[in-house]
Amino acid sequence: MMISKVKNAMSTLVGGMMPHGHHHHNHHSGGGQTCGPDSLPPRFPYGRPDFLDLTPELLQYSTEHASRPVLTLKRDSRLPWRTGYAEVINAGKSMLNEDQASCEKLFVKKPSSKQRNSSLLEDNGDGTGIPLHFWGVYDGHAGSGAAIMASKLLHRLIRDRLGEIFHLLENPTSAPPICLAKNGSPYQADTKKGAAQETEDPDAVNDSSLRFHMEKVVSLESLVMGVIETAFTQMDDLIEKEKMSYAISGGCCALAAIYLMGKLYIANAGDSRAIIIRNNEVIPMTNEFTPESERQRLQYLGFLRPELLGNEFTHIEFPRRIQHSELGKKMLYRDHTMTGWAYKTIVEDDLKFPLIYGEGKKARVMATIGVTRGLGDHDLKVYNSNIYIKPFLSCVPEVKVYNLDENKHGPDDVLVMGTDGLWDVTTDREVADAVSAYLSCCDPSDPMRYTLAAQDLLMRSRGVLKERGWRLPNERLGSGDDITVFVIPLAGQESET
């Protein structure tokens, strides 16, 4: 039965249509496009990452939930840095694999007057400019539209934003100027005008050396971080804008790794994870953003803007739901100002449903969504209500920097990026041990070694199909989620030069 459902879905897909049914949190029946999802064409048709080079037959095979086939790079495929990749579909929670991935080599260029108006173009491939490597994993929910769109465009947005500071990247030794002129070159203040202003302002600092010391010096690295942060926001705005003309379903967590001028920038919005494994030591490069990790930010927003809670929710957290008969009793609680717990007297308002409820993987914002950062979700509402969840979700990533040039890396030192399907059942340490063990048995010159390591990791988290579902060797439940893994050798850029 499932197979025929998938076959029908695939035939509509390959015909370019987008199936809209989804079961991850189908609580938001009010979440479709206003004019009905089928009247708008998809922004991009469903597919798997281009670098997998799947035939329509293989694309259909990839969606078989019963067997969950592992897809990897083909032997003759070459990704930059000999990057390894593997993916597998979920065990039936959604019709399609809602994870997406991208791996690109791009060039940051000075924007020409032509390009200023038409950005987001494909790289013209003349190999000029500052090279930029990009890896992205996108974990979609409530449909695959947002994840697909981000996987096609986020890296281009980042490249275009970096192009705007091209002249600063060309001179990495000097600190970025505080002010730019209209043409983008460093802004030189007109000294005559400045002198006139100083006499008018009695509080002005006249000693120029003092004034110099009051200026904050901003590093080029933190400027690149800011460019990446604003590109994520721009991506989110673009999804919202294009929803007017296209069907772009759902939302997605986004995790990106950007290599630029000797440094790796790891940007994470959501609950995917990246770790560096160096000399078999684990260096975590991300934090997960969940209702629990962001509780205080979410509660503070609910406290400041109670109208966003729609008279249905309370921003205060309690250890369990409160019964009407408990009015007037003292109960444990915590709010946005607290890390610990205290007692308060229960009032009528406390009977509302808590903004954040549940523990661990079951924690939800407004009983609906289990991640608090990502792209899309503009029309996600609380089930059977008109309360939007988007104001509580942030599209801004946390960016961490790893200096590749300052560290020595052997062939077994890698960056592992994976969606939560990988990490839900496997710890950082277990991943590091598995990768190190696998690579130590592989010929260091085999270009497939990193893809085989990714496949090995993925199968450890998926497990094997037994009578009682997908199981790990210790009989614990395997991951029933879509799983996507990159294994990226940190010595990879040396293999290219």
DSSP for residue 390 = G
Handedness of CA 7, 8, 14, 20 (dihedral sign): negative
- Which CA distances in Å does 423 have to 184, 246, 430, 432? 43, 33, 10, 12
Residue 141: CA count within 13 A, CB half-sphere: 28
- Separation between Cα atoms, residue 83 and residue 257, nearest integer Å: 12
pLDDT, position 40: 92
Q: Under a CB-based contact definition with an 8 Å cutoff, are residues 49 and 151 in contact?
A: yes
User: What is the pLDDT of the chain when averaged over all its residues?
Assistant: 88
Per-residue pLDDT reduced to its tens digit, 334-378: 999 999 999 999 999 999 999 999 999 999 999 999 999 999 999
Question: Is residue 235 within a helix (H) or strand (E), and if so which, with residue range?
Answer: helix 220-242
Phi, psi of 9 (to 5 degrees): -60, -45
Q: Under a CB-based contact definition with an 8 Å cutoff, are residues 477 and 425 in contact?
A: yes
Six-digit token string for 18: 């987008």
Per-residue pLDDT reduced to its tens digit, 382-400: 999 999 999 999 999 999 9
Helices (H), 282-370: 295-304
Closest CA to 341 of 332, 349, 328: 332
Assess whether pLDDT exceeds 50 at residue 271. Answer: yes
129: Cα separation from own chain's centroid: 27
Residue of 217 and 34 predicted with greater confidence: 217
For 295, residues 6+ apart whose C-beta sits below 8 A from its C-beta are: 317, 336, 356
Assess whether pLDDT exceeds 70 at residue 231. Answer: yes
Global pTM value = 0.88
Inter-helix orientation angle 145-163/220-242, to 10°: 140
Q: Under a CB-based contact definition with an 8 Å cutoff, are residues 372 and 289 in contact?
A: yes
Q: Under a CB-based contact definition with an 8 Å cutoff, are residues 397 and 265 in contact?
A: no
Six-digit token string for 17: 């249509």
Assess whether pLDDT exceeds 90 at residue 2. Answer: no
pLDDT, position 122: 77
Closest CA to 302 of 250, 337, 345, 343: 337
Per-residue pLDDT reduced to its tens digit, 286-344: 999 999 999 999 999 999 999 999 999 999 999 999 999 999 999 999 999 999 999 99
DSSP, collapsed to helix, strand or coil, labels residue 345 as strand
Per-residue pLDDT reduced to its tens digit, 48-105: 999 999 999 999 999 999 999 999 999 888 899 999 999 999 999 999 999 999 999 9
Query: Long-range contacts of range 72-80, CB-CB < 8 Å, 24 or more positions apart?
Result: 72/451, 72/452, 72/454, 72/455, 73/448, 73/451, 75/448, 77/51, 77/52, 77/53, 78/447, 79/51, 79/103, 80/104, 80/105, 80/133, 80/492, 80/496
CB atoms within 10 A of CB 222: 13
pLDDT, position 118: 59
- Separation between Cα atoms, residue 19 and residue 9, nearest integer Å: 6
- Separation between Cα atoms, residue 348 and residue 343, nearest integer Å: 16
Confidence class for position 142, pLDDT limits 50, 70, 90: very high
For 405, residues 6+ apart whose C-beta sits below 8 A from its C-beta are: 262, 263
CB atoms within 10 A of CB 350: 17
Where do we find the tokens 């799983």? 483
